[in-house]
Amino acid sequence: MQRRHRAGPSTVKAHTQVSDRHRVRRIRATVVGLAAAAAIATPAIAQSLAPAPNNPGYRWAAGPIKNLVAHFGWPARDTANLGRLATRRELARGLAELMNARGQTPPASLVRPPDISANDPDATAISWVSTTRLLGSPGAGFNPAGPVSTRTAEVAIVRVFGLGAEVHALDTLHTANGTRLVVPPAFGQEVLTAELGLRYNYPSRYDNLESGPTAPMRLANLAGMVNAAVTMPSWRLGSVNEFTTIVLPNMTANQMTVVESALAEVGMPYVWGGTSPNPQTLFGARVAGGFDCSGLVWWAFKLSGASAAKGLGRDIRGRTADAMAWEHAAQKVPLSRVKVGDLVFFGPAGPHSRRGSISHVAISLGNGWIVQSTGSRGGVTVTHLAGYWDSAVAWARRPATMRVGTTVAVVMTTPASPPKSTPSLVPGQSGSGAAPPPAP
């Protein structure tokens, strides 16, 4: 069920269990409007819906921030008002705590930003992150009260972890014949933070609190991310080393279109019923852009611009994972023959799952990799299929448009060598660690 760090997937929000049959009735009414909105969809940008700072949905972060106060020097005053916007000061504080937890020490010569006084309680932390260019740059104004985005925090944390080789492999993702795939900014960091469990997935009743990677980050989310980072065991950090060798199979033009449409949404949150990277109205509520598992399939095959223009999802009729799994029986593919663009389904009895029980779907990238939106990762990410949810892997389906086509071959300039390490940030450390205990 689990391998090392990989938690079993949560394909619906934390407290919600609704059958596909009931769920599709609720979703069907929104599809027409979503399709119209998709026609003018912009790239995967996050827009904040400005929820109230005291929203009870933020209470989950009380535990993480109390742990930071008790063991990592976080000020006790920050345990209240968890829904307010996080600041650059607080991110600097969290990054310094993470570097301390990893046995790192500040450089001998710290450059204090001109807008930070010598007696500022966070002067050392802010000077540390700006001197090492984790956040800001030496000698420049720091703007400690300014907001930070989720992506800014993720990029900095991944750098502290010394995962340069993994980031490089993901950011230069290519096929066996050297064709580079188009991926969004900070793609590598978005994948790694999801796979390391640094994102929080809000229950469906609080989907309005979700936000994408470029939106201002809430204190609750920053505290949860920092707490998960400073308490991360070495085996879990080491488990993402598998990304250093990621290479995908050669693809047809249609396969490439679907794959790039899905990869473009990496970093977007898991939103129950979501089918768009843009703010959307679902079940009468306005929520952020984001996707549930089958919503990502719907977007990648049917709603994103290039896929819609080509009609790549014309034989995908069902909106839910279960509906997709049972239509067009002739398209069913055994797991041993899964190829790029196939839909991979999961159910409680694996290949023996019954109609009505398929609860998750992912898109195959080939070579054992999938792109999916799942609650266990907090949204859209790239995962290795082996060990993700072994007992539940049911079967695959190959849509008609994924069956034919000429392989794309684009000569790629040889990528620069990945960074070996970041000595000023992670002296004597790497991302690897001892093997974890056996999974239960």
Contact 177, 409 (CB under 8 A): yes
The DSSP 8-state label assigned to residue 160 in this structure reads H
pLDDT of amino acid 50: 61
User: Rounded to an integer, what distance in angstroms lies between the CA atom of residue 163 and that of residue 189?
Assistant: 9
388-413 pLDDT, tens digit each? 999 999 999 999 999 876 676 664 54
Mean pLDDT of 14-18: 38
- 3-class SS at 57? helix
- Say if 75 falls within a structural domain: yes
User: Rounded to an integer, what distance in angstroms lies between the CA atom of residue 315 and that of residue 302?
Assistant: 10
- Say if 31 falls within a structural domain: yes
User: Rounded to an integer, what distance in angstroms lies between the CA atom of residue 148 and that of residue 414?
Assistant: 34
Tally of residues, the chain:
440
User: Rounded to an integer, what distance in angstroms lies between the CA atom of residue 51 and that of residue 360?
Assistant: 29
- List residues with catalytic annotation: 293, 360, 372
The DSSP 8-state label assigned to residue 251 in this structure reads -
pLDDT > 70: what percent of the chain? 80
The DSSP 8-state label assigned to residue 435 in this structure reads P
- 3-class SS at 259? helix
381-394 pLDDT, tens digit each? 999 999 899 999 99
User: Rounded to an integer, what distance in angstroms lies between the CA atom of residue 165 and that of residue 368?
Assistant: 20
- Say if 140 falls within a structural domain: no
Helix (H) or strand (E) holding 343: strand 343-346
223-261 pLDDT, tens digit each? 999 999 999 999 999 999 999 999 999 999 999 999 999
- Write down the H helix ranges in 72-142: 88-101, 123-131
- Say if 26 falls within a structural domain: yes
- Say if 137 falls within a structural domain: no
| Residue 421 CB-half CA count within 13 A | 10
Number of structural domains found in the chain: 1
- Say if 47 falls within a structural domain: yes
- Say if 106 falls within a structural domain: no
Assess whether pLDDT exceeds 90 at residue 38: no
- Token pair recorded at residue 58: 């933020």
The residues facing 362 across adjacent strands are 344
For residue 340, the domain's CATH number is 3.90.1720.10
- Say if 71 falls within a structural domain: yes
Helix (H) or strand (E) holding 286: strand 285-287
Contact 433, 237 (CB under 8 A): yes
User: Rounded to an integer, what distance in angstroms lies between the CA atom of residue 221 and that of residue 183?
Assistant: 25
Q: Give the range of the structural domain holding residue 80, as residue numbers without chain letter.
A: 20-86+147-402
Instruction: Report phi then psi at 291, rounded to 5.
Output: -140, 145
Lowest mean pLDDT, pick from 20-24, 158-162, 315-319: 20-24
